[in-house]
Structure 1
Amino acid sequence: MVRILVAGAVAASLGGCATLPTPACLPPSQPMLSAELAFGRNIGDRLGVSDVEFARFVAEEITPRFPDGLTVVDSVGQWHDIARGRLVRERGKLVSIVFAENPAQRAALGEIVELYKRRFRQHVVMVAVRPSCVSF
């Protein structure tokens, strides 16, 4: 039941992307969406998701959903653990994806989040989506 509620919350939050304003882009740029996904790598208080495991996750789950390309960057993040009353710092991966507005691809972001959380016993994956002007 909790998974259904979480999946619904993710879908609802990503559904808000439909209301993002389309920017006025100067040629040759085109309006697209930019998504950043922040993946923590700790399991408990220890590094649990290795570089090899993350690369496998990208190859198996992210790349098939976004075959046009993406960028992966090593990161160090922090968040406030309310339950334990302390600041937690952890190594992570930041994935940037640029794509044309498409309900299927917005849904794919939610799928990626849920798959990562299940596979690596994570509580959250941060997702930020914003309109962008992009040229290649």
Structure 2
Amino acid sequence: MLSRKTRSRIVASSAALAIVTGTPQAYAALDRQPAPGHQAESATVARGKPYINTRLYFGTGRPDGKPPVSNRQFLAFVDKHVTPKFPSGLTIQRGRGQWRDQNGHIGREGSYELSVLYPASEARDHDADLEKIRSAYKRLYDQESVLRTDDHERADF
């Protein structure tokens, strides 16, 4: 009969041997290329057509003690300045934002994220529309900036 100490050494040695011999084989399997003539399965399928998703971030805080831009004011702004340029649809999300102003002060305020999706082939045409929207908001509500991001995506409706 084996002693407890000997049994523990055998178990430990077996585990170490399994790790040493098993691990390289597992990694080697991950590095294998498909055989000629066989396609590797894709994790995702590209669907839809090329679109641009532009997001505009609107702060609601205003300088000089003026009240923040209200929900009613923001939705009226969207109705007047955004919907006519993007009648097919848009998404609005409320948020809380933080940013450093031109004087180096950290400001925290309510915000809105507006997202519009449009065909990539129309990007040049919509660029001017989006810049007019940003300029109008800055002018009407005394904003230093309106952040814009553009992402290339594929969409299928």
Q: TM-score, normalised by structure 1?
A: 0.75
Distance in 2 separating the partners of 1:114 and 1:80? 20
The answer to whether the aligner puts 1:134 opposite 2:155 as a matched pair is yes
SS class of match (1:129): strand
Q: Quote the offset at 1:74 in angstroms.
A: 0.3
Distance in 1 separating the partners of 2:108 and 2:127? 29
Distance in 2 separating the partners of 1:79 and 1:55? 23
Residues 119/46 of structure 1: CA separation in 2 closer, same or farther (3 Å cut): closer
User: Percent identity at matched positions?
Assistant: 30
Gapped runs of 5+ residues in structure 1? 1-24
Residues 66/105 of structure 1: CA separation in 2 closer, same or farther (3 Å cut): same
Between Structure 1 and Structure 2, which shows a larger proportion of strand residues? 1
Residues 74/46 of structure 1: CA separation in 2 closer, same or farther (3 Å cut): farther
SS class of match (2:87): coil
Q: Quote the offset at 1:86 in angstroms.
A: 3.0
Q: Quote the offset at 1:46 in angstroms.
A: 5.7
Distance in 2 separating the partners of 1:130 and 1:119? 27
RMSD across aligned positions (CA): 1.5
Q: Quote the offset at 1:82 in angstroms.
A: 4.7
The answer to whether the aligner puts 1:53 opposite 2:73 as a matched pair is yes
SS class of match (1:105): helix
Which residue of the partner structure matches residue 96 of structure 1?
115
SS class of match (1:121): coil
SS class of match (1:58): helix
1:98-130 deviations in whole A, cap 9, x for unaligned?
A: 001222211111010001111111110000011
Match of residue 110, structure 1, among 104, 110, 131: 131
Q: More deviation in 44-53 or 122-131?
A: 44-53
Letter in 2 for 1:32: Y
Structure with higher RCO (Cα < 8 A, 6+ apart): 1
Letter in 1 for 2:97: G
| Bigger radius of gyration among the two | 2
1:29-60 deviations in whole A, cap 9, x for unaligned?
A: 11100000000001026642110000000001
Which residue of the partner structure matches residue 26 of structure 2?
none
Letter in 1 for 2:145: V
Gapped runs of 5+ residues in structure 2? 1-44
